[in-house]
Amino acid sequence: MTVSGGASETDLKAPAAAFGGSPLIVAIAGAVALGIFLFDTATTLDIAIAVLYVVVVLLSANFLQRRGVLIVASGCMALTVLSYVLSHHVAADTALVRVVMSLSAIAATAFLALKNQSANMAVREQARLLDLTHDTIFVRDMGDVITYWNRGAEELYGWAREEAVGKISHQLMKTVFPVPLEDLTAQLLRVGRWEGELVHTKRDGSRLTLSSRWSLQRNERGRPVAIMETNNDITERNHAQEALRRTQAELAHVNRVMTLGELTASIAHEVNQPLAGIVTNGAACLRWLARKPPELDEARSAVESMIDDGMRASEVIKRIRALSKKTELQKVRLSVNGLIDDVVRLVEREVLDQLVSLRLEVASALPAVLGDRVQLQQVIINLVMNGMEAMAAVTGRPRELVIRAHRHEGEQVLVEVRDSGVGIEPEAIDNLFNAFFTTKPNGMGMGLSISRSIIEAHGGRIWATRNPGAGATFQFTLPSFREAAP
């Protein structure tokens, strides 16, 4: 459905207003027809006076419908013939030629008037339908001057049609564009449409976020003549999405803190190792210094080892603090192998305590990804902890956990966590990532749901499959990060 950018405001009003008629116009049309008949009957001029009946036909098209216009045109043709009969003898002369010409002109004018009337009715019907929709629709010319403003626009923005038509749209609504207007216009002229989010200001001064769609209209010569803009208010939806995002971040933070509580032994072990090294090297340093003469080189080496151990302890504390803090999503360029290494160091003691054999199968030349380090680590930790819990009751076969990372479908990185545990029931596999669904006796059912939210926020996908033998495999993909061209 299109609305001509050149259509006037009168053209876009309801059909009743267009065909209501005016007594003055009716009187003028009747007087003109009578005058033409009298003059054509009485004149001795050798001209086709009856051609002037086309004026009557055109006037009638403004206040009569199709049948009425046909009656008026037939009446004018009858008056033409009557005038000829009254003032001339029927003969094959110039007078008869003038009659034929007049009749042809009246018939052609009636045809064209009815065709134009049908086109105007179609435009008015389209405008009426546009007024019925709840969407905000307006048309502007190539100078951004509003030429049509539907009822939805009146209700949303607060300006009546008469107030908006003729105004420059971007000035009236103080439009905030996502990119410069020149770039949007260039894309519109190139492909004929544009979609995106805009910010508009209503008549009362409040601001709206809108999902906007622009469609370019061209004339029969292919020249752009108008732009139809359709807008949907998504302000409340965006507020709801922001609230949902904050809630998901809160849940993710709680999940991380709970996971850290489960990893207390691993964390203590990882911190104690460098601390024990510091104590041992400190005692050795004192012994080297107590000798006669002091062994300075050995003492210096011991101090350097103490510094290295201190740095290791600091890194451990930094990673733990990052996991426990409540921070906003911060996407940076990351190495997937580095993420996996950090997780393995954190869960190393837990793996040993659970008598699990951990095997890494990671490709050496994986592309980088764009993501939040803490959140992606949280996903891998969740999957590793779930895998170990699934193998806790396994006896009679090895408890093996495999972490794989490799390219997937060219431009993606695929991470797999495969266990040899009790597996997943077929009826449960479709619900694993739903909130509050759990197969654990004391589980909350939030870990996998949070993991799915994190992966989807990074443009990836996460799923689970049953292994052919024992256990299950959880997999997720992440899009690779490409360096911007210089």
For each of the domains in the chain, give its residue range(s) and CATH number, in order of start: 15-130 (no CATH), 133-233 (3.30.450.20), 239-328 (no CATH), 329-486 (3.30.565.10)
For the chain, what is the mean pLDDT? 79
Least confident piece of the model among 85-99, 100-114, 117-131: 117-131
Give the span between the Cα atoms of 199 and 9, in whole angstroms: 27
Terminal-to-terminal C-alpha distance of the chain:
44
- Over 50: is that where the pLDDT of 102 sits? yes
- Over 60: is that where the pLDDT of 444 sits? no
To which residue do tokens 């302890």 refer? 313
Phi and psi at 416, nearest 5°, equal -125, 140
- Over 50: is that where the pLDDT of 18 sits? no
CA 185 to chain centre: 19
Averaged pLDDT, 312-316: 71
pLDDT in tens, 123-171: 566 656 555 566 788 888 988 999 888 888 888 899 998 899 999 999 9
Please list, in sequence order, all residues whose beta carbon lies within 8 angstroms of the beta carbon of residue 409, skipping any fewer than 6 positions away. Answer: 477
Work out the pLDDT band at 478, boundaries 50, 70, 90: very high
- Over 80: is that where the pLDDT of 447 sits? no
Averaged pLDDT, 90-110: 81
- Over 50: is that where the pLDDT of 220 sits? yes
Alpha helices in 192-335 (DSSP H): 235-262, 264-290, 296-324
Asked if residues 387 and 417 have their Cβ atoms less than 8 Å apart, the reply is yes
How many CB atoms lie under 10 A from the CB of residue 123? Answer: 16
pLDDT for the residue 9: 39
pLDDT for the residue 419: 92
Give the span between the Cα atoms of 130 and 358, in whole angstroms: 64
pLDDT for the residue 445: 55
Asked if residues 462 and 475 have their Cβ atoms less than 8 Å apart, the reply is yes
- Over 80: is that where the pLDDT of 81 sits? yes
Phi and psi at 104, nearest 5°, equal -65, -40
pLDDT in tens, 3-13: 444 444 333 33
Give the span between the Cα atoms of 32 and 457, in whole angstroms: 74
5 or 444: whose pLDDT is higher? Answer: 444
243 or 262: whose pLDDT is higher? Answer: 243
Least confident piece of the model among 104-108, 324-328, 446-450: 324-328
Work out the pLDDT band at 92, boundaries 50, 70, 90: low
